[in-house]
Amino acid sequence: MIHGSDYLSKLYNDLITNTPQTFSMNISSEFGPGRIAQTKIKHGVILSDWQMRYQSDTDVNMQGPGNDEYIQIIFCLNDGVSWGIMNEPRSITLQKNESCIYVGNERAEYICYKKNSDFSFKTIKIPITYFAQLLSEYFEGQEVTAYRKKLLEGISKIPVTPIMEQILAEMNQFSQYRGSLGYLYLDGKLLELLSVYLGEVLELDILMGKNITMSRTERTAIMETKRIIDSQIAFAPSCKELSRLVHLSVPKLSRGFSSLYGISIHQYIIDQRLAQAAQLLLDGDRNVSEIASIVGYGKPSNFAAAFKKRYGVIPKNYRETRFNRLNE
């Protein structure tokens, strides 16, 4: 018979040991400074963080085995890289703040790192079986078909948006949760990231065409508008300038953007700026005035007011408030 105190002790120990397992390793010094960290969570999902600098007189070409059991998402957060799959036309080049999603292949993959460059990648590997399960659980009919065709038959590349960066940064905070709660936290963040990511990847006209009266040309222009904004969120062009860049009148652009994304251009820019600011505040490397400037606010007071309206707390208290909530 197990006594109450013994049972609780065992339960507590099991809880603490049943936590997302992370390991890290340094890259060989002959290549240059670098570190790789990897965390495995439920359903076999693998999260990786690569930070490295190849100090070489020439570009570094590497080759490794592929794996067709996973769908992979790669976020390039610093210098760019190019790679492909042997004996296949599938290849891609990622620049800073670009991302791609693709299904692995059993054939070897090759990659080229530019000499004397700083590389920062975050990757997510999701078992195909689990990804298919998510599609079937959350989507129906036409949607599932569209996602399968788009995601499982090629490589899709999109910008890394500020909201994606924020979620990726928040994933690193899972260690603030004890034991199995870390799994629950990461599962939630993974689904949050996927919902944002898939919305960016899939051409919205595939799913929304029957609900919105808009030509393909107009939709393409509006989606390009969003990409332009995401690529320069702190200094996003005015509606008039965006209109000129995508060759669509201001009224059509404004109405179309709201119809496709459910938010006005102005509000979208504000939300993205504040999401980027929240991430920078969590990083804790800059003061409020610096962050206000980085995300496009000329006056810190205007930034503080907008941030409090969005997050319910002034910027300087945001990081402390977030960590306090994690420890409650």
- Domains by residue range for the chain, with CATH: 19-207 (2.60.120.10), 216-326 (1.10.10.60)
Which is more confident, 163 or 315? 315
Question: Are the C-beta atoms of residues 99 and 152 closer than 8 Å to each other?
Answer: no
What was the pLDDT predicted at 16? 45
Q: Which residue has the tokens 């397992």?
A: 21
And the tokens for 314?
């002034």
For residue 155, what are the contacts with CB-CB under 8 A and spacing of at least 6?
A: 90, 92, 100, 101, 102
Three-class SS of residue 26? strand
Mean of pLDDT over the chain: 78
pLDDT in tens, 209-257: 445 677 777 877 888 888 888 878 888 999 999 999 989 999 999 998 8
Percent share of the chain, pLDDT over 90:
18
* Poorest-pLDDT segment among 102-111, 166-175, 202-211, 296-305: 202-211
What's the pLDDT score for residue 25? 79
Q: What is the CA radius of gyration of the chain?
A: 22
pLDDT band at 15 (very low <50, low <70, confident <90, very high): very low
Whole-model pTM: value is 0.63
State both tokens at 149.
Answer: 């065709």
Ranges 15-19, 33-37, 126-130, 321-325: which has the least confidence: 15-19
CB count, 10 Å around CB of 75? 21
Instruction: Report how many helices (DSSP H) and strands (DSSP E) the chain contains, helices first.
Output: 13, 11
Arithmetic mean of pLDDT, 135-154: 78
